[in-house]
Amino acid sequence: MDLKLSRYTVPTSVINPEDQPAFQKRILYSAVSNAAVVITDQVFHMLNNGSYERIEAEIRVELENARILVPAENNEFANVLAENKVPDRLLSMVLHATSQCQLGCRCKKQAQHKSMDTAIAARVADYLDRQLEHDRFDAWHITWDGGDALTELPLVKEISQHNIRLSAKYDKPCTVSMITNGADLHLDTFRTLFYDCLVKHFHIVVGGSMNTELNRRSFSNIEHILAEVQFQPWDGIIFEIKVNVDKDNHHEVSGLVDKFGTNNFQNRIIFKFCSEASYCEEERRYRYSYTPSEFAELEIEYLMYAAKNGFPVNFLPSRALTSCPAVNENFMTVDVQGNMFGCYALPYTDHEQHNANMIGNLFSEPSLFRTDLKFRQWYDELDTHRGSCYDCNLFPVCGGGCRLKWSEGADGCPSFRYNFEDRLILNYLTQKGAFNS
Ligand code: SF4
**pLDDT value for 39:** 96
The pLDDT of residue 87 is 85
With 0.95 as the threshold, say if the pTM is over it: no
Q: Is 413 in the pocket of ligand 1 (CB under 6 A)?
A: yes
Between 33 and 111, residue with greater pLDDT: 33
- Give the pLDDT score at 437: 61
Q: What is the average pLDDT value for the chain, to the nearest integer?
A: 91
Give yes or no for residue 218 having a pLDDT over 80.
yes
36 domain residue, yes or no = yes
Please check whether residue 62 lies inside any domain of the structure. Answer: yes
pLDDT at 251: 93
Ligand 1 centroid to residue 419 C-alpha, Å:
13
Residue 153: Cβ within 10 Å count: 15
3-state secondary structure of 161: helix
Q: Is the minimum distance from the CB of 7 to ligand 1 under 6 angstroms?
A: no
- Cβ atoms within 10 Å of 279's Cβ, excluding its own: 17
Nearest to 269 by CA among 204, 329, 315: 204
> What are the C-alpha distances in Å from 243 to residues 281, 295, 383?
18, 12, 35
- Is the pLDDT at 373 greater than 80? The verdict is yes
Is 400's C-beta closer than 6 angstroms to any atom of ligand 1?
Answer: yes
Residue 52 located in a structural domain: yes
Amino acid at 370: R
- Within-domain flag for 322: no
Residue 408 within any structural domain of the chain: no
CB-based contact 100:136 (threshold 8 Å): no
341 phi and psi, to 5 degrees? -130, 160
- Structural domain of residue 38, as residue ranges? 3-74
Number of domains in the chain: 1
CA separation for the pair 147, 144 (Å, rounded): 10
Task: Report if residue 427 sits inside a domain.
Answer: no
34 within a domain of the structure (yes/no): yes
Ligand 1 atom with the shortest distance to the CA of 392: 8
pLDDT value at residue 286: 66
Measure 319 CA to ligand 1 centroid, in angstroms: 13
pLDDT-based confidence at 104, cuts 50/70/90? very low
Q: Quick check: is 37 in a domain?
A: yes
Mean pLDDT of the region 379-388: 88
Q: Is 398 in the pocket of ligand 1 (CB under 6 A)?
A: yes
- The per-residue pLDDT for range 49-101, each reduced to its tens digit, is 999 999 999 999 999 999 999 999 999 999 999 999 998 899 999 999 988 76
